[in-house]
């Protein structure tokens, strides 16, 4: 299937069943998650934190993204592979399209970018070139320095209005789906009911969106040093890694 066909198939899941999405940053993880049937593999710029060891996602470059998108694409057969456009890679429509093309050449089926109304010209430029786009609104991690942290979004009437207008504009601009991040549950639910395209939630509470995305190292416990409070940690991969290494050290 082409990227466009895969994105369309995901779009059509709305109202049928919940969409499952996980981040992946490397070949083995992509291969394992694809084998168990996850719908979407997001090569998130969160890789800057949980793989590359930076304090936030503002250090991630296009070269980083291309490198990891290629690895994930090699490991994925069926999942929709989303390449996250990193900070400052989509400042103009021309730059957005050029960098979207780079991620698609590396193997992404589609791209994702952060922001609402102010990004519609970039979304249109990419979609017009035949590359599907996933929107991302609510809390925008690439703005963490301006915002002074990661805060819930949509508590005030003004903020709720801006997010609603933003996602409506993203839909009109041709987005195939939209990630809602740290949006207060009631607003996430209302937006999901109103939009025709699927919403994929993170930190929006359970069952309020058309699907959910999680950072893979959060649910496996592989990166225990920064885990958002809403994450459901299902294993202790970090503990296992240490146990195996200690056992090895003692065995040799
Ligand atoms: N490991 C990891 N998992 C993620 O989900 C993730 C990253 N890294 N890096 C990029 C962004 C940052 N994320 C975050 C980080 C912190 C909160 C957090 O502390 N949320 C509080 C905020 C409360 C408030 O001040 O309003 C919460 O209670 O939800 C949420 C999302 C989500 N993304
Ligand atoms: C948190 C998700 C939605 C993301 O954008 C990322 O992993 O970079
Ligand atoms: Mg991201």
171-187 pLDDT, tens digit per residue, is 999 999 999 999 999 99
Indicate whether 230 belongs to any domain: no
Give the per-residue pLDDT at 130: 98
pTM above 0.80, yes or no: yes
Dig out the tokens for 54 from the structure: 């930076």
Give the per-residue pLDDT at 173: 98
Pocket test residue of 40, 48, 57, 64 for ligand 2, highest count of atoms within 8 A of CB = 57
What atom of ligand 2 comes closest to residue 45's alpha carbon?
8
What percent of the chain lies above the pLDDT cut of 70? 100
Indicate whether 62 belongs to any domain: yes
For residues 130-146, average pLDDT = 98
Indicate whether 250 belongs to any domain: no
Indicate whether 114 belongs to any domain: yes
Give the per-residue pLDDT at 65: 99
User: Per the structure, how many domains does the chain have?
Assistant: 1
Give the per-residue pLDDT at 162: 98
Range of the domain at 135: 3-214
Cβ count within 10 A of residue 157: 8
46-75 pLDDT, tens digit per residue, is 999 999 999 999 999 999 999 999 999 999
Indicate whether 112 belongs to any domain: yes
What percent of the chain lies above the pLDDT cut of 90? 100
Indicate whether 219 belongs to any domain: no
**26, 76 contact by CB (below 8 A):** no
Question: Residue whose CA is closest, atom 6 of ligand 2?
Answer: 44
180-212 pLDDT, tens digit per residue, is 999 999 999 999 999 999 999 999 999 999 999
Pocket of ligand 2 (CB under 6 A): 23, 42, 44-46, 84, 179, 181, 202, 213, 215
Indicate whether 229 belongs to any domain: no
What atom of ligand 1 comes closest to residue 203's alpha carbon?
29
Measured from the CB, is residue 54 less than 6 Å from ligand 1?
A: no
Residue 80's CATH number: 3.20.20.60
For residues 238-243, average pLDDT = 98
Give the per-residue pLDDT at 207: 97
Give the per-residue pLDDT at 56: 98
Residue 181 Cα, ligand 1 centroid: separation in angstroms?
A: 9
Give the per-residue pLDDT at 161: 98
Indicate whether 239 belongs to any domain: no
């Amino acid at each position: 299937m082409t990227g466009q066909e895969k994105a369309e198939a995901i779009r059509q899941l709305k109202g049928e069943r919940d969409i499952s999405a996980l981040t992946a940053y490397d070949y083995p993880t992509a291969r394992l998650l694809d084998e168990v049937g996850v719908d979407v593999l997001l090569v998130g710029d969160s890789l800057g934190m949980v793989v590359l060891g930076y304090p936030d996602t503002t250090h991630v470059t296009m070269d980083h993204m291309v490198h990891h998108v290629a690895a994930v694409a090699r490991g994925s057969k069926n999942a929709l592979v989303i390449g996250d456009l990193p900070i400052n890679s989509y400042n103009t429509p021309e730059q957005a399209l050029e960098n979207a093309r780079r991620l698609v050449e590396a193997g992404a089926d589609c791209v994702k970018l952060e922001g609402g109304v102010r990004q519609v010209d970039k979304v249109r430029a990419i979609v017009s070139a035949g590359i599907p786009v996933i929107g991302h609104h609510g809390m925008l991690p690439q703005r963490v320095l301006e915002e002074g942290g990661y805060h819930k979004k949509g508590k005030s009437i003004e903020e709720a209005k801006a997010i609603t207008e933003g996602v409506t504009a993203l839909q009109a601009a041709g987005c195939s789906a939209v990630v809602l991040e740290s949006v207060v549950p009631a607003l996430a639910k209302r937006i999901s009911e109103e939009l025709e395209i699927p919403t994929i939630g993170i930190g929006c509470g359970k069952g309020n969106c058309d699907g959910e995305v999680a950072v893979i190292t959060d649910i496996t416990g592989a990166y225990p040093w920064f885990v958002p409070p809403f994450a459901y940690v299902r294993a202790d991969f970090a503990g296992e890694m240490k146990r195996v290494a200690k056992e090895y050290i003692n065995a040799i």
